[in-house]
């Protein structure tokens, strides 16, 4: 075998997503062998020097910095991976693109569609590859659902309904973190959780044409992180519900909340078509429920089928374990970043199976339309 080239990774962020992405970059060659290139962890950025230095050692980066511009300009960095809070997506990504770096950016692409469009326009004009990290496109069961839909096994699609529910801020004394402030997050569970199910709706069913939404803030003030004796205003919604109309005539519902007591990471969707239905629950990541209307006289075999998506014929599984040996949430990032790496090295299109910056922008446009509908009480046509 000829020598496999290396490709330099610059990471922005060391917390939840920074750890998830770093783990994926490190493990790509372990499963996808031979890889398109071997990811070389060059530099990691964080604001707190002690914490980012520890992350450098823990994750295996060559060096660290507390200035993200050093990552963007580093000649060893060929891929910028932006896992920072939403308000720090636009500027580093655009600067990286202008410096000739390939860029993967965590979702939502930006705080609103205006910011996201600037990022998309920068990517469109450049000759680098860009991807918005909607990792649930890379769940084997979700990709199997996509295949079933592409092959027309459900026929005409009538309904898409999805919910993404968590409960981590139910306690009114939970502090005022950045995700609860519009200035930093752009929106609440709409951008945090809703963007995932909006992307899945677009990925599986098609473009969203119009929305009608309702958003609510349940706890309007919370203790400040820096001084818990004082309280600050929550400036994003705590939950939203929306009806959606697709360009192909299908209709659907979307719901996201961080006040769904007992729900930890409950991302579920159902698709109903003229010839069958599909159900998926992220908390049962390795399973897909399928109902197909079959022309078979043996009626006793009809009904819902639980498919354990761990066979070698299923998407991505051939690089992992023997049948029945389930994979986890972290493997979605390995699948996703391997795809991006393959697109860069072999000059392939990031679309349609991964989300491009255009997909990230269109998702933000739907989010904005839902908030506009909630504010006006009217049905809103989504404008891209």
> How many whole angstroms separate alpha carbon 116 and alpha carbon 110?
5
In a shared domain, residues 232 and 362: yes
In a shared domain, residues 207 and 302: yes
Considering the domain boundaries, does residue 349 fall inside one?
Answer: no
Considering the domain boundaries, does residue 340 fall inside one?
Answer: no
Under 8 Å between Cβ of 178 and 236: no
Considering the domain boundaries, does residue 11 fall inside one?
Answer: yes
Considering the domain boundaries, does residue 188 fall inside one?
Answer: yes
In a shared domain, residues 94 and 156: no
Q: Could you tell me the pTM of the whole model?
A: 0.96
- Domain of 278 in residue numbering reads as 137-325+356-381
In a shared domain, residues 62 and 175: no
In a shared domain, residues 124 and 187: no
In a shared domain, residues 74 and 172: no
Residue 303 has a pLDDT of: 80
Nearest to 214 by CA among 238, 184, 234, 247: 238
Beta strands at 231-233 and 239-246: parallel, antiparallel or unpaired:
unpaired
Specify the number of domains making up the chain: 2
| CATH classification of the domain holding 85 | 3.40.50.720
Tens digit of pLDDT per residue, the chain (384 long)? 578 999 999 999 999 999 999 999 999 999 999 999 999 999 999 999 999 999 999 999 999 999 999 999 999 999 999 999 999 999 999 999 999 999 999 999 999 999 999 999 999 999 999 999 999 999 999 999 999 999 999 999 999 999 999 999 999 999 999 999 999 999 999 999 999 999 999 999 999 999 999 999 999 999 999 999 999 999 999 999 999 999 999 999 999 999 999 999 999 999 999 999 999 999 999 999 999 987 555 455 568 999 999 999 999 999 999 999 999 999 999 999 999 999 999 999 999 999 999 999 999 999 999 999 999 999 999 998
Q: Which two tokens stand for residue 146?
A: 């996509």
In a shared domain, residues 170 and 245: yes
- Residues pairing with 164 in the sheet: 256, 267
Residue 299 has a pLDDT of: 55
Last residue of a domain, one of 106, 136, 166: 136
| CATH classification of the domain holding 237 | 3.30.360.10
DSSP string, 137-169: GGSHHHHHHHHHHHTTTT-SEEEEEEEEE--TT
In a shared domain, residues 153 and 60: no
Q: Read off the pLDDT of residues 101-125 as tens digits, 9 standing for 90 and up.
A: 999 999 999 999 999 999 999 999 9
């Amino acid at each position: 075998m000829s020598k496999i080239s290396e490709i330099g990774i610059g990471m922005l962020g060391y917390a939840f997503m920074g750890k998830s992405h770093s783990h994926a970059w490190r493990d790509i060659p372990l499963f996808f062998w031979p890889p398109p290139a071997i990811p070389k962890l060059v530099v990691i950025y964080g604001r707190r020097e002690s914490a980012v230095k520890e992350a450098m050692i823990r994750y295996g980066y060559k060096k660290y910095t507390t200035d993200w511009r050093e990552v963007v300009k580093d000649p060893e960095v060929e891929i910028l991976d932006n896992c920072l809070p939403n308000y720090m997506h636009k500027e580093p990504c655009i600067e990286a693109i202008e410096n000739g770096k390939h860029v993967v950016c965590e979702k939502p692409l930006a705080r609103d569609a205006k910011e996201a469009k600037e990022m998309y326009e920068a990517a469109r004009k450049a000759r680098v590859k860009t991807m918005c990290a909607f990792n649930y496109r890379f769940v084997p069961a979700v990709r199997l659902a996509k295949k079933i839909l592409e092959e027309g096994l459900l026929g005409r699609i009538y309904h898409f309904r999805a919910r993404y529910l968590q409960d981590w801020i139910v306690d009114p004394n939970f502090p005022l973190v950045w995700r609860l402030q519009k200035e930093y997050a752009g929106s609440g569970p709409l951008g945090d959780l809703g963007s995932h199910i909006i992307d899945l709706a677009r990925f599986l069913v098609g473009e969203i044409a119009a929305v009608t939404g309702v958003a609510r803030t349940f706890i309007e003030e919370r203790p400040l992180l820096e001084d818990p004796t004082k309280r600050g205003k929550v400036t994003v919604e705590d939950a939203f519900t929306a009806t959606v109309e697709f360009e192909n005539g299908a209709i659907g519902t979307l719901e996201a909340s961080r006040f769904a007591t007992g729900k930890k990471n409950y991302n579920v969707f159902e698709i109903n078509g003229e010839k069958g239905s599909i159900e998926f629950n992220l908390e049962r990541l390795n399973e897909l429920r399928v109902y197909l209307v079959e022309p078979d006289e043996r009626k006793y075999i009809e009904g819902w089928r639980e498919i354990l998506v761990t066979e070698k014929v299923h998407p991505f599984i051939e690089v992992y374990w023997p049948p029945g040996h389930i994979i986890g949430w972290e493997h979605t990032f390995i699948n996703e970043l391997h795809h991006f790496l393959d697109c860069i090295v072999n000059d392939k299109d990031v679309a349609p199976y991964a989300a491009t910056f255009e997909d990230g922008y269109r998702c933000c446009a739907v989010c904005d339309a839902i908030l506009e509908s909630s504010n006006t009480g009217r049905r809103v046509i989504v404008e891209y």
